[in-house]
Amino acid sequence: MILAGIILSGSFSGVMTFILFYLLEWAFQYLNKDAIKKKLPLAIISLSVFLVGVIFAFPYIATRLGDLGTEGSSSYYRIVGPLVMVGYSLLNVNGVVRFGSLYEYVASFGIFNGADVGKTIDNGLYLLIIYFSWFAVILALWYMGKVMKMMINAFGDNQNYRVQLYLFTPLLLFFTGSVFSPEYAFLIVCPFILRKALNIAR
């Protein structure tokens, strides 16, 4: 039902995030010797139900993936189109964008968002690289390295929410380019507040 709701909302990023988090949670709970012995039927049932949902969602997923190659589509504008700006920022460190001049900078590349030339960046990771160049790349790699170490220790611990929480932060970058807005900070902080509240409740 959750997957169906996300699909009906039209958010491709939401669908892919849900798939990733579901598979992570499934792996953390069932991919260890004790869990496989005790919960094998439940593991098979939960994965089967999930796969049925993915099969129903596959036409939508395939369509949105196909849009990555269609100039003017939202998928292209968010993922593929800005790569030329990202490459320019990495190859020309002295050409990093100044705060307040992003609209003019983006428009100068002539990337279409629908029928009009886009003036914003809808991908937070790309935006950080455009602003901060290699520093943003190094920081992102360091952060994901920390998350990968958490993943290794999370298998078999179904109460370990750290991976999901810390992975939520970089994934949220792909939903919006408003990474400096109060709303974005609120979205980042909320899951951590919830985790703290759950710990207190126990």
Q: Do 58 and 101 lie in a common domain?
A: no
Q: Do 107 and 191 lie in a common domain?
A: yes
Q: Do 113 and 56 lie in a common domain?
A: no
- Among 69, 89, 116, which residue terminates a domain? 69
Q: Do 192 and 103 lie in a common domain?
A: yes
Residue 179 and residue 175: Cα distance in Å, rounded?
10
pLDDT, greater one: 19 or 166: 19
189 Cα distance to chain centroid: 16
Q: Which two tokens stand for residue 87?
A: 């490459």
Q: Once rounded to an integer, what is the mean pLDDT over residues 115-125?
A: 79
Q: Do 2 and 92 lie in a common domain?
A: no
From residue 16, alpha-carbon distances to 24, 25, 119, 196 in Å are 12, 14, 26, 26
The answer to whether residue 102 scores a pLDDT higher than 70 is yes
- The pTM score is 0.70
Could you tell me the residue range of the domain that residue 136 belongs to?
71-202
User: pLDDT (tens digit, 9 = 90+) per residue, 26-69?
Assistant: 877 777 666 667 777 788 888 888 888 888 888 888 888 887 78
From residue 43, alpha-carbon distances to 39, 40, 53 in Å are 6, 5, 16
Strand, coil or helix: 110? coil
From residue 127, alpha-carbon distances to 10, 43, 131, 174 in Å are 23, 39, 6, 10
CA angle 182–81–92, rounded 5-degree value: 85
